[in-house]
């Protein structure tokens, strides 16, 4: 992974926040680190003598974020929240909003409390493909522990307050933050941090490069370059817009044996589920209407099994894997269809590589439902 840091551009930044914008944009330029609103960054600074966390506003893209995309939140409030035994989403959002010194700023990232807990000036968080690919393999915990012996490694828990609370508990009793090189959240992503923006960014690039080198050695992908079979895409009418992917990767992915089993094992990182749903529509014969009907019935069954008081979202698929043809994504706009295709392209690579490490394994179905129906995650699509 290339280090894009430019000392001259960094030196031109006149404030902590300007430098935070610059390094955030660098992270966002690498699709292998974050996609479409993913990841979050922060910087701790002083405003009128008070310590303030400037944290990415929920839903903003790191590649294009500007100063106004950061929410300025009082550190003291966030640190008090971390100590609570429980905190509802509504109370967390309201408390963070009340603690903002500029009420017109966007809502803080759902990870704001965690950013506050990390006792360094600069915090970077990405959903790096290479890291998540390894941790989404059946031997992921073993591989991650071996590759990152000086990182704090956290089993998957729900993002937001629950994750912050978990890390707060793990770092009590004289935890040595100075010796901690970063955090890895299984099935989710990676944090690096430092009091220097360049060092935090460089730690991210170096950590992800280590994972990429591991995958290149132990899980290379060899595409067989099959010629796709014919399929009348006009018969597949879901949302108005679509993106047809017949790249060598997509055709290879859609040509696997036991296709339905292979492509219905869950998302690469939890936040993807709001865009893609947990699994795709799989078409292995030409009875398209029957395949869609079965998908909807299965989705309704999934919803019924895990719902409490939620209202069911659209039960139709967001993308289809068509046997020996490729991938088709659907959207209410062309941009939505294209975004879903980006996410699925990264997912396909990860699944194929994780299988080389013993098998791909995403978060559980129950955890998937919790993310898909998490109000704070759904809000990102409305921003």
pTM, entire model = 0.95
CA distance to 63, 184, 323, per residue, from 288 (Å) = 38, 41, 12
Residue ranges covered by each domain of the chain = 7-218, 233-381
- Average pLDDT, stretch 14-35? 97
**pLDDT digits over 330-375, tens only?**
999 999 999 999 999 999 999 999 999 999 999 999 999 999 999 8
Fold adopted by 233-381: L-fuculose-1-phosphate Aldolase (3.40.225)
Neighbour tally for 272: CB within 10 Å:
24
Confidence of residue 239 (pLDDT cuts 50, 70, 90): confident
Name the average pLDDT for the chain.
95
**What was the pLDDT predicted at 383?**
52
For 42, the enclosing helix (H) or strand (E) is strand 40-47
**What was the pLDDT predicted at 236?**
82
**What was the pLDDT predicted at 217?**
98
- Average pLDDT, stretch 162-178? 95
- Average pLDDT, stretch 298-316? 96
Confidence of residue 243 (pLDDT cuts 50, 70, 90): very high
What is the C-alpha to C-alpha distance for residues 195 and 151, in angstroms, rounded to an integer?
Answer: 17
**What was the pLDDT predicted at 235?**
78
Listed range (232-246, 264-278, 286-300, 338-352) with the worst mean pLDDT: 232-246
What is the C-alpha to C-alpha distance for residues 353 and 271, in angstroms, rounded to an integer?
Answer: 20
Distance, first Cα to last Cα, the chain: 31
- Average pLDDT, stretch 178-185? 98
Same fold, 7-218 and 233-381: yes
What is the C-alpha to C-alpha distance for residues 50 and 314, in angstroms, rounded to an integer?
Answer: 45
Confidence of residue 224 (pLDDT cuts 50, 70, 90): confident
| Residue partners of 332: CB distance under 8 A and separation at least 6 | 239, 240, 241
Confidence of residue 34 (pLDDT cuts 50, 70, 90): very high
- With 60 as the cut, is the pLDDT of residue 6 above it? yes
- With 70 as the cut, is the pLDDT of residue 382 above it? no
**pLDDT digits over 98-155, tens only?**
999 999 999 999 999 999 999 999 999 999 999 999 999 999 999 999 999 999 999 9
- Average pLDDT, stretch 297-310? 97
CATH 3.40.225.10 corresponds to the domain 7-218: yes
Dig out the tokens for 344 from the structure: 């699925």
């Amino acid at each position: 992974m290339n280090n894009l840091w430019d000392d001259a551009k960094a030196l031109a930044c006149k404030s902590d926040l300007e430098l935070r914008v610059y390094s955030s944009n660098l992270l966002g330029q690498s699709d292998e680190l974050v996609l479409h609103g993913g990841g979050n960054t922060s910087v701790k600074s002083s405003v009128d003598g008070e310590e303030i966390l400037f944290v990415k506003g929920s839903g903003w893209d790191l590649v294009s974020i500007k100063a106004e995309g950061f929410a300025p939140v009082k550190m003291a409030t966030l640190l008090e929240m971390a100590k609570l035994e429980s905190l509802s989403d509504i109370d967390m959002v309201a408390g963070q909003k009340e603690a903002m010194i500029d009420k017109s700023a966007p809502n803080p990232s759902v990870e704001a409390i965690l950013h506050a807990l990390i006792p360094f000036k600069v915090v970077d968080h990405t959903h790096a493909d290479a890291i998540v690919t390894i941790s989404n393999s059946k031997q992921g915990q073993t591989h991650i522990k071996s590759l990152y012996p000086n990182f704090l490694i956290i089993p998957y828990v729900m993002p937001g307050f629950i994750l912050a609370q978990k890390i707060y508990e793990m770092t009590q009793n004289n935890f040595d933050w100075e010796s901690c090189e970063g955090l890895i959240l299984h099935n989710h992503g990676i944090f690096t941090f430092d009091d220097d923006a360049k060092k935090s960014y460089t730690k991210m690039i170096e950590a992800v490069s280590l994972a990429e080198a591991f995958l290149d050695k132990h899980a290379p992908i060899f595409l067989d370059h099959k010629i796709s079979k014919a399929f009348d895409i006009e018969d597949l009418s879901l949302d108005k817009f679509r993106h047809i992917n017949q790249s060598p990767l997509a055709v290879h992915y859609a040509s696997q044996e036991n296709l339905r089993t292979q492509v219905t094992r869950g998302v690469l990182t939890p936040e993807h589920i709001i865009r893609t749903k947990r699994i795709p529509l799989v078409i292995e014969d030409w009875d398209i209407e029957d395949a869609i009907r079965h998908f909807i019935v299965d989705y309704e069954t999934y919803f019924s099994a895990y719902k409490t008081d939620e209202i069911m979202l659209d039960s139709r698929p967001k993308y289809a894997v068509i046997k020996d043809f490729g991938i088709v994504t659907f959207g209410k706009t062309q941009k939505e269809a294209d975004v879903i295709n980006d996410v699925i392209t990264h997912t396909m690579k990860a699944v194929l590589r994780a299988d080389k490490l013993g098998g791909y394994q995403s978060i559980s179905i129950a955890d998937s439902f919790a993310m898909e129906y998490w109000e704070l995650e759904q809000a990102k699509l409305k921003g």
